[in-house]
Structure 1
Amino acid sequence: MTIRRDPRPVRLGVQIAPQHASYATIRTAVAGVEALGVDVVFNWDHFFPLSGEPDGLHFESWSLLAAWAEQTTTIQLGALVNCNSYRNADLQADMARTIDHISGGRFLFGTGAGWFERDYDEYGYEFGTPGTRLDALESDLQRIEARWARLNPPPTRDIPILIGGGGEKKTLRIVAKHADIWHSFSTPDVMKHKLGVLDGWCAKVGRDMSDIEISTELRSRTTDEADALYDLGTRLFTLGLSGPHYDLSPVVDWLAWRDSKNAS
């Protein structure tokens, strides 16, 4: 495939992992990244910490997003990513629409098939297989989009859908059909390959791949790697931070990198 230069500006997202910290600390971190000029603030959709003390402090994703929507004024917000398995599809659509209104049109619907088995076991959800969870994601996205068209009041705009994951047989096909943003943890070499696969799926489903914004994680990456991902067309870069103390100094450095790209 030929890599097309994406005219979108580079954006920086920060994922505030809702673990090992008080709500007050999380709230302060969100205020801090918004004040710095970050473009998007994310959390994640789990019920227990993913690192550190497995039974440590932890808060639920959608409740936090509604609070962040009221707390903030300029930054976009969403989950990186929502677990489709945990809530009825039509309920997800209604929750997303409501947060979209609370935020004044700043909500991103980040979603995925789910993977953290402890969440399923302790909260009573059927874990299934990666294949069954992806099939459910695909069918539920159709229900979500249909429900958005029927809600009163409707969403303030077409809510952007971000889909996370890199599976080539199912996930990237779902991305081609439904996503406005595709997120992965790909290295430059892997990203180049995955973009070729995604381009192929877009051709099969009749979608222009340039409609999809490419997103990836910055944690542990060098600026050289970020430059290479930028050259491949990545325009949304995310940086993960965890409690108990959210160190915002790396955010300052990556904002300077973002601004240098957008000035060139």
Structure 2
Amino acid sequence: MTTNTSRPVRIGIQIAPQHSDYTTIRDTLRQLEELGVDIAFNWDHFYPLSGDPAGLHFEGWSMLAAWAEQTSTIEFGPLVTCNSYRNPDLLADMARTVDHISAKTPGAEGRLVFGIGSGWFERDYDEYGYEFGTAGQRLDALGEALPRIEARWGKLNPAPTRKIPVLIGGGGEKKTLKLVAKHATIWHSFSDVPTLRHKLEVLRAHASDVGRDVSEIEISNDVKLTGAFGSADAAVLDEKTEAGVTLFTLGITGPSIDLGPVKDLLAWRDEKNS
């Protein structure tokens, strides 16, 4: 199946908050906005996920507040925040506040994309004193948290500047995709094309069960390049676009951040949208 193909193709770039000083991260974000990237992401972990496990690393939500103030056009958010690390009502309030910081002028809409998942990086839990539990328990906790987050957004004064887009990451068919169907504006996965097509069928069924059409949900996927961007990479992206993906996200990380692939992806995007 395919989803709504009327959406424009968008490019997200995840700046890993690791192995770089904050000045480099800040300057990279500025360059991404100037280049015309649609969404900038970071992540919500406490230690590097690759490279030196004792390398430089920064906390995600503090960084997002700075990004909200620093930028003026680009959307941004965590890919993804871990539900386990904060009380859901507090997390909703943090997101609402960052949303307002990013709005810049009275009456303007904010630019936060609220990415959330159930958590998986055991070192974060162990080192910071959270109960890791099982994957099923963490997913159940996410299912309990999402309605609380939505309810808190409805109670806060001032309210969020807009209906904050909710991105849910993950591909579990029994629990995660049910949560996507009920709560998400965007679904993000790391699926290859055959897996993506299958999971979209599952998502369509779950969406129908809660009275939604799957076309209401933007389909997001990661980008893995083979090296320098070439025809093989473009062919994979084209195939995923035909399957329904309209948001593609590439991860970049220090210590040496190369924006060449970002420029290639943007050129491909512009050609697709022309």
Residue pair 1:78, 1:109 contacting (<8 A) in 2 also: yes
Q: Deviations over 1:223-262 (max 9, x none)?
A: 1110000001100000100111211110000000000110
Deviation at 1:3, TM superposition (A): 2.1
Query: CA separation in 2, counterparts of 1:95 and 1:154?
Result: 12
1:95 alignment partner in structure 2: 94
**TM-score computed with the length of structure 2 as normaliser:** 0.94
Query: CA separation in 2, counterparts of 1:102 and 1:235?
Result: 27
Q: AA paired with 2:86? A: R
2:194 equivalent among 182, 189, 196? 189
Matched, 1:207 2:212: yes
1:78 alignment partner in structure 2: 77
Q: AA paired with 2:88? A: A
Deviation at 1:205, TM superposition (A): 1.6
Matched, 1:246 2:245: no
Q: AA paired with 1:74? A: T
Query: CA separation in 1, counterparts of 2:145 and 2:60?
Result: 19
Q: Deviations over 1:167-189 (max 9, x none)?
A: 01100000000000000011111
1:140 alignment partner in structure 2: 145
Helix, strand or coil: the match of 1:206?
Answer: coil
Q: Which 5+ residue runs of structure 2 have no aligned equivalent?
A: 104-109, 227-232
Q: Deviations over 1:59-111 (max 9, x none)?
A: 00000000001000100000000000000000000000000000011001000
**TM-score computed with the length of structure 1 as normaliser:** 0.98
1:164 equivalent among 169, 172, 176? 169
Query: CA separation in 2, counterparts of 1:29 and 1:244?
Result: 12
1:58 alignment partner in structure 2: 57
1:126 alignment partner in structure 2: 131
Query: CA separation in 2, counterparts of 1:229 and 1:223?
Result: 10
Deviation at 1:208, TM superposition (A): 1.1
2:270 alignment partner in structure 1: 259
Runs of 4+ in 1 over 4 A off after TM superposition: none
Query: CA separation in 1, counterparts of 2:43 and 2:55?
Result: 15
Deviation at 1:5, TM superposition (A): 4.2
Equivalences for residues 5-20 of structure 1 within 5 A = 5-20=4-19
Q: Deviations over 1:187-226 (max 9, x none)?
A: 1111111101101111112111111000000122611110
Helix, strand or coil: the match of 1:42?
Answer: strand
Q: AA paired with 2:76? A: L
Query: CA separation in 1, counterparts of 2:246 and 2:143?
Result: 25
Q: AA paired with 1:254? A: L
Residue pair 1:164, 1:183 contacting (<8 A) in 2 also: yes
Query: CA separation in 2, counterparts of 1:50 and 1:201?
Result: 32
Residue pair 1:19, 1:242 contacting (<8 A) in 2 also: yes
State the identity as a percent. 64
Q: AA paired with 2:161? A: T
Deviation at 1:162, TM superposition (A): 0.1
Query: CA separation in 1, counterparts of 2:71 and 2:168?
Result: 24
Query: CA separation in 1, counterparts of 2:223 and 2:3?
Result: 22
CA shift in 2, pair 1:4/1:61, >3 Å: closer
Residue pair 1:5, 1:231 contacting (<8 A) in 2 also: no
Q: AA paired with 2:16? A: A
Residue pair 2:3, 2:214 contacting (<8 A) in 1 also: no
Residue pair 1:112, 1:163 contacting (<8 A) in 2 also: yes
1:40 alignment partner in structure 2: 39
